[in-house]
Every structure is written in C-alpha cells, then in structure tokens.
C-alpha cells in the first residue's frame, strides 16, 4: 500500500517505524473502543512521557492514511499499551471496529516530546474532547495533586460516561458540542485565570485556535504557559 507524500516526508524526517499487533478489543461505551497492542519494541526505544502519541498508518484500499493516537497505559516491562478510538465513519474508526487479536498495523514515531512545566504551576487549565481524552488522562495521572480544571466536549450522551482520571482536586465539566464547539469557546473567555496557571488545549482546529487566543489576549497567559495541538478538523 502507498503512503504518498506523508510517507515520503516522515522518511525524510527520519521517523522510526514499528509494527504493532492487536492483543485485545473492548468497547468502553457504544461510541468508544479500546484496542490493546503488543508494542513491537517501541517502548524500549522511546521513554514514556505524558500525552505520548504515535502515527498509525491506517489501511484504506490501496492507500494508507496517517493518524495520530495517544498511548494509553504504556507498560515498557511487558512492551504493551492500548489505544482508544472514538467510533465514527472515518477510516481509522472503521479499521479499529473490524480489528481482531493478531491483526498488525504499522506506526511511525516522530514529534511526541511533551514535558511537564518546571516548576509546576498553581493550576492546570485543560480543554479537550473525546479525541484528546486519552492524552488528558495521562496528563492528569502525571500532575498528581496539582489542582486542575478540565472542560470536555461531548457529542453523544454516552461520552459523559467515559472514565476521567481526575482526583478530588481536579474539577471536570462536560459541555455538549453545539454550533461547532461554541460552548467550549465561550467557556475559555468566561473563566477566571491566575497568571501562574498552565493551559493544555487539544480540540478541533478552530476551537483550539480560539481558546488559545482567549487565554493569551483575554487572560494574559504567556505563550510559554500554553501547550496546544489541533487534534482534528
């Protein structure tokens, strides 16, 4: 199968390739699927960090499409991790829904390099949705007892049943996705925000850009205190 221009660019940038093997499948909700994988040596070469992600090569006829996914509960000792998929009509979701134990899929590793701020902030401000929830959960695990406010966007009622790894000092608010993310964008303008907070934003492209702008212009957070990535378009 062909990888096209994306494959050529990743090869030029010296991305490292691995082959994963499906070990388990589990529906977390009717719209959310978790696959377990044998990591093919990936974790031995790449130390674990919060929000760590890889680029899956999704087969689609004669082509392969690259999609980024967060590693869930990576275990270097066993060389395993899981990946969670929001169920929809895209090629990655279709592949995941049809996957069975023993199936293989290729991944490339390039660009995943997040580190927690040092020193830690007084509070984390986290904006995301079901696509970025695996990364948010890994971030909440990593920050431990540091306070955090988390705003998550849902499209299906069952989304609000997804497990969020919040502790008592982590406040989680679910907001329905309407008008292409209007409620989440409005929330970013309305919050109170201390100057030593740290923001992590990963939503659709337009919503991510709008929230980042609000954090900078409305609340005065410096660029060094904002980490953002558009998870989908």
Burial class (CB in 10 A: 0-12, 13-18, 19+), 30: exposed
Report the C-alpha gap between 137 and 83 in whole angstroms.
12
pLDDT at position 9 is 72
How confident is the model at residue 61, as a pLDDT? 86
Residue 1 pLDDT class (50, 70, 90 cuts):
low
**Fold of the domain built from segment(s) 4-109:** Elongation Factor Tu (Ef-tu); domain 3 (2.40.30)
Q: What is the pTM of this model?
A: 0.93
In the predicted model, is pLDDT for residue 7 greater than 80? no
pLDDT digits (tens, 9 = 90+) for 64-94: 999 999 999 999 999 999 999 999 888 999 9
What tens digit of pLDDT does each residue of 191-202 get?
999 999 999 999
Residue 11 CA: distances (Å) to CA of 6, 70, 108, 114, 224: 9, 21, 9, 22, 30
Looking at the chain, the domain(s) classified CATH 3.40.50.80 span 123-228
60 or 210: which leads in pLDDT = 210
What is the per-residue pLDDT for 13?
A: 67
H helix runs in 17-90, sequence order: 42-45
pLDDT-above-90 percentage for the chain: 87
Q: In the prediction, which pLDDT does 15 show?
A: 77
What digits encode the pLDDT tens for the residues 33-51? 999 999 999 999 999 999 9
Which phi and psi angles does 49 have, rounded to 5°? -145, 160
Q: What is the pLDDT of residues 173-197, one digit of tens each?
A: 999 999 999 999 999 999 999 999 9
Which of 6-15, 58-67, 155-164, 212-221 is predicted least confidently?
Answer: 6-15
Average pLDDT over residues 17-42: 97
Tally the C-alpha atoms within 13 A of residue 125's C-alpha that lie toward its C-beta: 25
Q: What class is the 123-228 domain? A: alpha beta
Domain with CATH 2.40.30.10 in the chain: 4-109
């Amino acid at each position: 199968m062909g990888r096209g221009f994306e494959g050529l660019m990743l090869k030029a940038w010296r991305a490292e390739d691995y082959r994963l093997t499906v070990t388990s499948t589990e529906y977390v909700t009717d719209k959310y699927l978790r696959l377990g994988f044998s990591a093919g040596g990936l974790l031995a070469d790449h130390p674990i960090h919060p929000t760590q992600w890889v680029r899956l090569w999704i087969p689609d006829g004669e082509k392969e499409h690259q999609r980024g996914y967060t590693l869930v509960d990576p275990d270097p000792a066993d060389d395993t991790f899981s990946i969670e998929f929001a169920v929809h009509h895209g090629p990655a979701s279709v592949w995941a829904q049809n996957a069975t134990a023993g199936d293989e899929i290729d991944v490339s590793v390039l660009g995943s390099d997040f580190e927690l701020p040092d020193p830690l902030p007084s509070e984390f401000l986290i904006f995301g949705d079901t696509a970025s929830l695996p990364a948010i959960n890994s971030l909440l695990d990593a920050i431990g007892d540091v306070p955090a406010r988390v705003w998550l966007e849902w499209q299906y009622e069952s989304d609000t049943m997804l497990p969020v790894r919040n502790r008592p000092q982590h406040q989680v608010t679910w907001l329905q996705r309407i008008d292409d993310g209007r409620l989440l964008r409005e929330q970013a303008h309305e919050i109170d925000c201390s100057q030593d907070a740290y923001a992590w934003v990963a939503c659709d492209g337009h919503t991510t850009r709008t929230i980042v702008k609000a954090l900078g212009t409305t609340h005065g957070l410096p660029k060094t205190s904002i980490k953002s990535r558009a998870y989908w378009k």
